[in-house]
Amino acid sequence: MKKRKVAVLFGGQSHEHPVSLMSVTSVLENMDEIYERYLVGITMDGRWYHYYGKEEKIINGDWEKDDNRDEVILSPNPFHHGFYNLTSGEIDRVDVIFPVLHGRNGEDGTIQGLCQLNGIPCVSCDMTASAIAMDKEFTHIIAESYGVPMARYLVLKKNSHPDYRTVFAEVEQKLGMPCYVKPSKEGSSFGAHKATDYFSFVTCCEDAFRYDDKILVEEFIAGTEVGCGVLGEDETGLMYEVVVETEMYGYAEKYDGYKTKIYVPSKNLTAEQTEEVRKLSLIVAKALGVNVMGRVDFFLSGSRLVFNEINLIPGFTSHSLYPAMFVAAGKSYRSLISELIEMVAHD
């Protein structure tokens, strides 16, 4: 039988570029030999390269200095079904695209739209689901319409919000203090902060606007973060729980393990709460059109569960939550990668 040729995309034009390099390293280490790999690295300035050098050079970015690469373009033409190689002038056909890209220009429907145009199966949800799930405001609106408990929030737009004094007075009245400020379309906690007073609120908003023209101000939910991995339309992994000793589960806590303890399965969820997380996760996923993979995050505040967000291309690093939840449920990392590829592949 002919091997499936899987184009694995990594890097990308987002603040999560370094996370992608860590994720793809783990994915490649766990990808079965039955697949032929076609690695495509995307630089921060947007150049796409077919990389055929040593995979260990990817994690620290040294692949970009390697001569073993050809610049390529992902063709939107369905008859090409692959990448136009600018060096050889030929089309490199592939069977499946696996975008190990986090954040903008990877998780937000852009890559998914290209794959929709060229008809190449993509290990991701479709363009519409990806675009909606990436935008925290739209996710709020849809999840709330399905009765999923959410934090109260306000939306601010960079060029049209009132002066900060007026906004802060509304935040105090409707949400209370402290509060969280975060970009609407960003991941890995970039631009997300906890504000405690007027001056920190202004600082937090200004930083969040560096990442997005639209930001959310959410009520503060005290508690721990818990969540669930979704695979396909109805399979879930074991629940996770994150306990941090800092103000919030930020970048250092997520990727450096700074003052963080992660439990898979969760440590403090009761059997009833575990089932509730699972049920709400599937409701959110189906409401948003998530049918390949996603990690659904909640806050557990006392006995109250509050939906936070969903990630459609969650981290795949050696210590990331998504693969850990399925490994804990008895599925190996290797079989998880194979299942994701076969789920979308066409014979």
203 and 270 assigned to the same domain: no
**Do 25 and 44 reside in the same domain of the chain?**
yes
290 — pLDDT class (breaks 50, 70, 90): very high
**Domain termination site, one of 219, 234, 259:** 219
**Same-domain check for residues 137 and 268:** yes
How many CB atoms are located within 10 Å of the residue 256 CB?
A: 10
Quick one: 84 and 107 in the same domain? yes
The predicted structure's pLDDT at residue 254: 47
Q: Do 174 and 50 share a structural domain?
A: no
> What does the buried/exposed string (b/e) look like for 185-201 if buried means 16 or more CB atoms within 10 Å of the residue's CB?
bbbbbbbbbbbeebebb
Q: What is the CATH number of the domain that holds 81?
A: 3.40.50.20
Say whether both 175 and 97 belong to one domain: no
173 and 264 in a common domain: no
Distance of CA 217 to the CA centre of its chain: 20
Q: Please say if the pLDDT value at position 248 is more than 90.
A: no
Mean pLDDT of the region 284-295 = 96
**In a domain? residue 319:** no
Residue 332 contacts residue 322 (beta carbons within 8 Å): no
Answer whether 0.85 is exceeded by the pTM. yes
pLDDT in tens, 93-140: 999 999 999 998 999 999 999 999 999 999 999 999 999 999 999 999
Domain count across the chain: 3
Is residue 48 in some structural domain?
A: yes
Domain of residue 263, CATH code:
3.30.470.20
- Specify if 346 maps to a domain: no
> What's the whole-number average pLDDT of the chain?
92
Boundary-marking domain end, from 219, 236, 259? 219
Report the alpha-carbon distance of residue 60 to residue 10 in Å, rounded. Answer: 12
pLDDT band (50, 70, 90) for residue 247? low
The per-residue pLDDT for 75 is 96
Co-location of 10 and 110 in the same domain:
yes
Indicate if the pLDDT at residue 282 is higher than 80: yes
- In-domain check, residue 330: no
pLDDT at 344: 97
**Is the residue at 188 inside a domain?**
yes
Read off the pLDDT band of 245 (50, 70, 90): low
Encoded amino acid at 216, one letter: L
For residue 244, is it within any domain?
Answer: yes
Instruction: Tell me: do 14 and 107 sit in the same domain.
Output: yes
CATH number at residue 191: 3.30.1490.20
In a shared domain, residues 275 and 157? no
Claim to verify: residue 98 and residue 34 sit in the same structural domain: yes
Residue 334 resides in a domain: no
Residue given tokens 């008859």 in the structure block = 79
Structural domain boundaries enclosing 179: 153-219
Higher pLDDT, 259 or 131: 131
Q: Are residues 32 and 118 in the same domain?
A: yes
